[in-house]
Chains A and B, each alone.
Chain A
Amino acid sequence: MKHLLLTIALLTSLFSFAQNTGSISGKVLDKEYNDEPLPQCNIIVKGTTKGTTTDFDGLYSLSDLEPGNYTIEFSFIGYEIQNIPVDVLAGESKEINVSLAASAAALDEVIVKTSVKRESETALLLDQKKAVEIKQSIGADELSRKGVSNAAGAVAKISGVSKQEGSSNVYVRGLGDRYLNTTMNGLALPSNDVNKKNIDLNLFASDVIENVSISKAYSSRFYGDFAAGNVDISSKNYKGNGFFDFTTSTGINSRAAGQNFVRSEGSGYFGYYGRYDHNPFAVIISHGVDPVNVNSPINVGYGASAGKSFDFENDSRLSLFATASFENDYEYRKGQQTDFTSVFKKIFPETEEFEYSTTTTAMLNANYKIDDNNKIQFNSLFINSSSDQVGFYGIGGNGFNRDSQSTVDSEKGFFQKNIQFNQDLIYVNQILGNHKSGDLELDWGMGYNRVNAHEPDRKRFSIENYQLSLDNDPSTNPVFFNNVVFDNQRYFQDIKDEEFTSRINLAYELSKQTKLNLGFNGRSKTREFENIRYGYDIVDNSTTINDVNNLNSIFNVNNLNLNGGGLYDIKVINGIPEFGNTNAPGEPENTYEGKLDVYAGYANAELKFGEKWLIVPGARIESFKQRISYDVINLPANEPGFRQTNNIFLLPSLSIKYALKEDQNLRFSASKTVSNPEFKEMAPFVYEGVTQRIGGNPDLLNNPSFSTIYNVDFKYEWFMSRSEIFSVAAFGKQINDPINLVIANDATGTQRYFRTGDKATILGFEVEIRKALMQNADEDTTLSAGFNATYMHTEQDLKSSTGLYSSTLDRTDELQGASPLIINADLSYTPTFGKNYKPTANLVFSYFSDRISALGSGQLGNIIEKGIPSVDLVFKNKISEKFELNFSAKNLLDPSIERVRENTSFGDVTLSEYKRGIDLSLQLKYKL
């Protein structure tokens, strides 16, 4: 109300003095970026106290100027200042439109040397307002302000997006991994995880991101495999004159602190493993199994970034940007785990897991502006991500196994140990170009991606009578649980992904009102998977374990039962024929190869009707080929070992924007898309965790081999000011032949993917508000709040499936992986002290409600992932021009992360439950 009164007062004064004074107004454009408006440009009338900044639309006005000669200064943070002389006459309004560009230009133009960064919230809101499609972005400024350290945290701040705590899963409008795509600069990105379609966004540190955007409505330039959204990471695109900064950070996890931390033997502090070149059998023979101790679990991070630009003749400019960083993280999770089907198979009332993870990122970006019309960009990104996990299940001696063979007490004393190291090496290389000539604009990109994901030498042990190791009686000791030879095992897994990806878009601006886009996308991707597992078969099941922390004393080569008398044999499933399957290296246990080829052409038109209407009809025609071939254990003998599909998709889309007012839009979009199964969903290989097993189902490529999706979105958005927005949206989707994760009809309770019904329907409602709550004397926002929420209703009719695997389903249920309610909120406080000291405090809240993690077949209840609230607090603290000292406290509520099996005869059974602890971190940033 106060605001409104003030505006009225200003208007009044404007009218009353209009006769005696003059005014200047105009628009500041950004020549670097298609002459889009440049918001937040500072404009000062030199020699007076008058000044303003451009608004969201690049507009400014200076009124109430006494007649006379002035110099107007246009400046933009970090850019060169430019001065324009102007003669102001009484009663006259002058219009000065300024188009700013990055390089020096002709004298008669008003030029500011600038670079464009799509990083500020304002710029991105502008982007969203102008956007032809329904799209939301978050840029480096906001990321930094909210203390977001990576892209995963970034997307979770966008409305309708949630992140699964403690994992890399991102959900858009409640729909998970399989309904999302991730691209970088519009080119497909690989996944780093065999179990995922999308790359772990945690791997993209804020330093390499310019912005992250999520398009929730389909546009014909996206791949046809589109359901909930497309996440696009724009890599940092430096254009400035040069900088160097260095950061170092340290932190601690409240639960990891003080623990005697352990991690696996053979992996290094920096997240590397040196034995990939060796045959796994040689590794087993040569190296022990016990985890090793780690010094105090304190997180550290280092990073450096540098940028430099070089100017050449004819406005050519080469900008280089390089960044490298390393950070590590210790996490300790204490909780419980249970393997439940319709009975308790394993119960671990007390578990503890130690996880040491590292991320190393390096990126090089070269941007060559040949001239105003031609640009070429090269990006090369390398990520090494590692996770070292040691888990102890059944500490305290209270573990239970239904198949216990214990002669001491079959109700307790079951214990498992899992020691595993995962390393993902990701290489992304891209060349991008942009060329303009008259009304034509050509945008293209090519990329080559590679992922090597390793799980070398995972060790898993099963022990009975564990309580006897805790009783301080050296005469009573545990024994191995040796029901099958793989109860005690070492496991090796390798995945190699390779992908070529490309895009071309030719835009032709027929007139101010009409723009045509013609384009092409192609991607060709292969995956090679193989694993091998060796089981320790204990020769005499009564062999006692004198020290459960020293299994090396048992599993060393001296005790190998080569010629009788040893303690154990090493078994492999697929032996090499000459050598047999005992105490000799074997052939891979499971292999599969996936191939995906997509080539598509599209066309769309951006048609403006007057000032208000923007209509974008589009169509895409896509050739889609997918093949999975596999050689995995335990398949029926008549199984052909492959499935493949060839499809041509014709996918129409329509999007309409109607500008209700200058600052309000109505949007509508409708499209037909598809959803294709992923390699991991199709490969019949089963990954065995300690308490759950998940495998694929090649019948997903049988008729129908894809899901058809119909999408409809309505949205109303109101850009209340340059950094404020209010929007509401409603959306509906129908997914035909949807794929769900199901606890199958399987003798071992394996979860597999099935086409579970004819259709699933989704109806949702979304609201977003960003509002400035308090402003200081300079009208800078000091307190602002953001809130967004998505409510969704999903429903599907389930039916039984048969084929290679079967499931029994006959009911109506929610869509697996969909959270009905998602809420994100944040509060940001930026007071100013003195002249330069401007700390920022942010409180960020997020919540998602319970969702189905796997549907229960037949009598089995669903597995539910319980909803989690989370709160992070972040202080950004710039002490001087050169130093920043930042502090964050994350996961302040430290909620229980819980998975539950519903509707059993025991009520709801908790399958896993743990807490991650609060992360405290201190960061020092130095800028040269």
Chain B
Amino acid sequence: MKRNFLLSLATVAMLITGCSTDDTSDVILNVNNGEGSGTGGTTISGTYTSDLTLEAGTEYTLNGSLIMSTGTTLTIPAGTTIKALAQGSDVYIAIAQGATINAMGTSTNPIVLTSNASSPQAGDWGGLIVLGKAPINSVSGSSTSTSEIASLPYGGTNAADDSGSIRYMRIEYSGGSADGQSENNGFSFYGVGNGTLVEYIQAYEGKDDGIEFFGGTVNASYVSVVNSQDDSIDWTEGYTGTITNAYVKHGTDHDKGIEADGYNTDIGNNSNPVFWSKPTVNNLTIVGNGSGTGNEAIRLRAGTQGIFNNVSLQGFAEGFDLDGDQGDSPTGAGVISGDLKVTDIIFTDVTLKVKNDTGSSFAESDFISGDGNGTGTDYSTWGSGWTVQ
């Protein structure tokens, strides 16, 4: 039996053949060059050892990895759109330790990093990676760890490290696979310090997490994650910044609204003195697909701590799932000591508010106070204009 498959429409044709002696088919590929429409304009990629300043009004195509080395600045003016080649993980922008990004969009002229495919899909390209010198708990002292994507060093001892400014930036269709286990996120903050300004950012239609914090102290305000296929907001490795006003909305494919680890469980908590992730999250809204569809809004595990103030969770089977143990992942101990708690919250269409798999026993009231008092974030105000739904 010999079959031929005709895939898609034609401008480029390619024949894969093997002189079939078995029943392996010849595949004739006719591709209508769906990805290539955006190769016009200026292409950018490569490792920059001097500053790169993009010009307003120019159309940019990112056709590989763009890495800003230590001491350099990437300047992206308001209104700039960078279209990334839909080639998966090797297409990304990385701001190395000691480099800075200066991306100052406005609510009417946001900066957009997106896919250049004619019908873009989640995972078309990598995303934005920022690496800083703020503390992480996977290593001790001034040691550094190596990023999942791009294999660049991050972490250090400077909590006030400054990686620049990101304002009004939207990242779309990112999350290409790096290998069988790692995927790019929308925004990845690796050990980024709180000298960095991050506000008004959106991750839209990402294949992996929307925004992930790998340690560091960076504060992020006005954070929107819509239709992320994995976790919308993720933190690990001892992240201790403050997230103020965050809005998460799930699409059809999704994982948790927030997935939080106290440390990177693949490496261990090697900090000395020991510390855990412990961000403060103020004004948080997570919108799920209804309690009947199952899933969890927030999973807290591996010893993470955190202070949640004013939360609104809508449409989940479980509100909080706390995982841990009495050993290396003392999530429950954080609740008991008051290092992991929620003040003022409202559950709407949530079946089970708190699930305790930590191995520690505590009452729901030890974890949550002010149930019914939460209002969440006012997304309709700050999210209007520059975000997409």
Question: Which residues of A come within 8 Å of B, CB atoms?
Answer: 274-275, 277-279, 281-283, 285-287, 341-343, 345, 402-403, 405-408, 410-411, 482-487, 489, 533, 535, 537, 540-542, 557, 562-563, 571, 573-585, 633-639, 686, 688, 693, 745-749, 800, 802, 804-806, 808, 857-860, 904-906
Contacts and interface: CB of A to CB of B under 8 A. Distances in A.
A904 B327 contact: yes
A557 B341 CA distance: 50
Given A483-B230, A571-B88, A858-B270, 5 more contacts: A285-B5, A540-B253, A574-B87, A745-B145, A858-B268
B29 A584 contact: yes
Nearest to B94: A637
A580 B117 CA distance: 9
A808 B208 contact: no
B84 to A, nearest CB: 12
A904 B27 CA distance: 51
B29 A579 contact: yes
B151 A636 contact: yes
The 10 closest A-B pairs by CB, nearest first: A905-B327, A407-B294, A859-B268, A278-B18, A343-B265, A905-B328, A279-B16, A749-B266, A636-B151, A486-B180
Nearest to B253: A541
A231 to B, nearest CB: 35
A747 B268 contact: no
Contact of A580 (B47, B86, B145, B302): B86
Which interface residue of B14, B22, B177 has the most chain A CB atoms within 10 A?
B177
Given A282-B16, A578-B33, A745-B146, A858 B25 contact: no
A905 B274 CA distance: 15
Contacts of A482: 253
Contacts of B90: 573-574, 633
Contacts, number: 231
A339 to B, nearest CB: 10
A698 to B, nearest CB: 12
A814 B225 CA distance: 49
B35 interface: yes
B256 to A, nearest CB: 8
A639 B325 contact: no
A638 B294 contact: no
A633 B179 contact: yes
Interface stretch (B73-81, B136-144, B365-373): B136-144
Given A341-B265, A639-B151, A286 B24 contact: yes
Given A580-B117, A800-B143, A281 B27 contact: yes
B24 A287 contact: yes
B267 A341 contact: yes
Interface string B74-110: 0000000000011111100010000000000000000
A906 B230 CA distance: 29
B151 A635 contact: yes
Nearest to B8: A562
Contacts of B33: 578
A745 B27 contact: no
B208 A575 contact: no
Interface in B142-193: 143-146, 148-152, 176-183
B202 interface: no
B20 interface: yes
Contact of A858 (B14, B181, B267, B321): B267
Contacts of A342: 263, 265-269, 328-329
B27 A747 contact: no
Contact of B34 (A407, A533, A580): A580
Contacts of A578: 12, 14, 31, 33, 36
17 contacts: A282-B17, A482-B253, A483-B255, A484-B181, A485-B123, A574-B90, A578-B33, A579-B12, A581-B86, A584-B7, A584-B31, A585-B14, A688-B180, A746-B267, A747-B267, A806-B139, A858-B267
Which interface residue of A287, A686, A748 has the most chain B CB atoms within 10 A?
A748
B182 A638 contact: no
Contact of B146 (A487, A805, A857): A805
A802 B255 CA distance: 34
Contacts of B265: 341-343, 345, 402
Nearest to B326: A905
A639 B294 CA distance: 44
B26 interface: yes
A800 B139 CA distance: 11
B152 A279 contact: no
Interface residues of B, number: 87
Contact of A282 (B25, B177, B268, B270): B25
Nearest to B152: A636
A634 B26 contact: no
Contacts of B183: 484
B177 to A, nearest CB: 6
Given A341-B267, A580-B35, A746-B146, A557 B89 contact: no
Nearest to B9: A563
A830 to B, nearest CB: 52
Nearest to B46: A637
B356 interface: no
Nearest to B317: A407
A402 B236 CA distance: 15
Contacts of B302: 343
A19 B265 CA distance: 89
Contacts of B244: none
Interface in B270-319: 270, 293-296, 301-302, 317
Contacts of B380: none
B237 to A, nearest CB: 9
B24 A857 contact: no
Contacts of B61: none
Contacts of A535: 177
A542 B295 CA distance: 13
Contacts of B224: none
B203 interface: no
A277 B22 CA distance: 11
A469 B235 CA distance: 34
Nearest to B122: A537
Nearest to B181: A748
B196 interface: no
Contacts of B3: 286
A498 B174 CA distance: 42
Contacts of B8: 562-563, 583
Which interface residue of B69, B181, B317 has the most chain A CB atoms within 10 A?
B181
A575 B36 CA distance: 13
A712 B349 CA distance: 75
A573 B46 CA distance: 19
B47 A343 contact: no
B87 A489 contact: no
Contacts of A634: 89, 148-151, 178-179, 182
Given A486-B180, A571-B123, A636-B152, A283 B230 contact: no
B387 interface: no
Contacts of B317: 407
A146 B350 CA distance: 69
Contacts of B47: 637-638
Contacts of A745: 138-139, 145-146, 267
Contacts of B221: none
A870 B21 CA distance: 46
B384 interface: no
B360 interface: no
A405 B139 contact: no
Contacts of B176: 581
Contacts of B5: 285, 557
B114 interface: no
Given A283-B24, A637-B65, A857 B267 contact: yes
A696 to B, nearest CB: 14
Contacts of A746: 146, 266-267
A412 B328 CA distance: 22
A748 B181 CA distance: 7
Given A281-B27, A808-B139, A562 B180 contact: no
